[in-house]
């Protein structure tokens, strides 16, 4: 999934970016509040990691502006401000979660998985369309009697499809969910990943809608 990271500290931003990409997230990283608001308006993201102490426009104002526009994109505040008043204020402004620095990357990833579960209407770490069952914690997928481990990119692609079962996602939409701004995308990458998933699970796991894109069916 595509994450917007808003963090002005270079060392922290680089560490989070590496951890997220290793966990199969596409990451767009900006370092001030004004650029963050422009990015939110120009790109489709699934969640925002938002520092509070930002140049040009602080994180509180970014969050306030975001919610004033009616944008419901999930936001996790990541900050060194650990006072109870700051935490209450951030959540009351519309943040979905609040994580105090320094934190373990495993905890950040777990909180992101929880947000994704809520987006998909799931109470457990399993995304499913009734046929496929994708474990968000382990990257394992089960389809019938077959259970396999996916690569990071295969996992990201199947996750994108399972979040919208029955909907057709085009090549451009899938690339947008799998790659950040500065990541090069080969022209046949999506085809290669879908071929790999089908080889592991079977050709019917992902449907090709000619001229439109790919989908997983919604099982009643």
Query: If you ran DSSP here, which 8-state letter would residue 53 be given?
Result: S
pLDDT on residue 44: 78
Cβ partners under 8 Å of residue 48, min gap 6: 3, 4, 5, 6, 36, 40, 66, 73, 74, 75, 76
Please, what is the angle between helix 59-68 and helix 84-92, to 10°?
Answer: 20
- Confidence at residue 152, expressed as pLDDT on a 0 to 100 scale: 86
Q: 50 by DSSP, 3-state: which?
A: strand
pLDDT at position 9, please? 93
With tokens 């060194």, the residue in question is: 80
The alpha carbons of the chain give a radius of gyration, in whole angstroms, of 18
Mark the ranges of the chain whose per-residue pLDDT is less than 50: none
User: What tens digit of pLDDT does each residue of 176-202 get?
Assistant: 888 877 677 777 889 999 999 999 998
User: What pLDDT is stored for residue 173 in this prediction?
Assistant: 87
pLDDT of residue 129: 84
What pLDDT, on a 0 to 100 scale, did the predictor assign at position 120? 61
Q: What letter does residue 169 receive in the DSSP assignment? A: B
* pTM of the entire predicted model: 0.75
Distance between start and end Cα atoms, the chain:
25
pLDDT score at 220: 64
Both tokens assigned to 35: 């650029």
Task: Give me the pLDDT at residue 164, please.
Answer: 85
């Amino acid at each position: 999934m595509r994450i917007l990271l808003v963090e002005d500290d270079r060392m922290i931003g680089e560490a989070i970016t590496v951890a997220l990409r290793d966990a199969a997230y596409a990451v767009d990283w900006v370092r001030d509040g004004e650029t963050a608001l422009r990015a939110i308006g120009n790109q489709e993201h699934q969640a925002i990691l938002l520092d509070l102490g930002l140049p040009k426009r602080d994180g509180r104002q970014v969050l306030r502006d975001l919610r004033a526009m009616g944008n419901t994109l999930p936001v996790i505040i990541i900050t060194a401000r650990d006072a109870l008043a700051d935490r209450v204020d951030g959540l009351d402004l519309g943040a979905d979660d609040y994580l105090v620095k320094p934190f373990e990357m495993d905890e950040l990833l777990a909180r992101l998985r929880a947000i994704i579960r809520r987006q998909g209407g799931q109470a457990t770490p399993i995304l499913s369309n009734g046929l496929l069952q994708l474990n968000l914690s382990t990257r394992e997928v089960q389809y019938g009697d077959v259970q396999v481990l996916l690569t990071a990119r295969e996992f990201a692609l199947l996750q994108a499809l399972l979040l919208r079962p029955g909907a057709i996602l085009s090549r451009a939409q899938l690339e947008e969910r799998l790659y950040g701004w500065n990541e090069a995308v080969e022209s046949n990458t999506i085809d290669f990943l879908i071929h790999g998933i089908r080889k592991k699970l079977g050709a019917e796991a992902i449907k090709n809608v000619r001229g439109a894109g790919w989908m997983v069916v919604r099982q009643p």
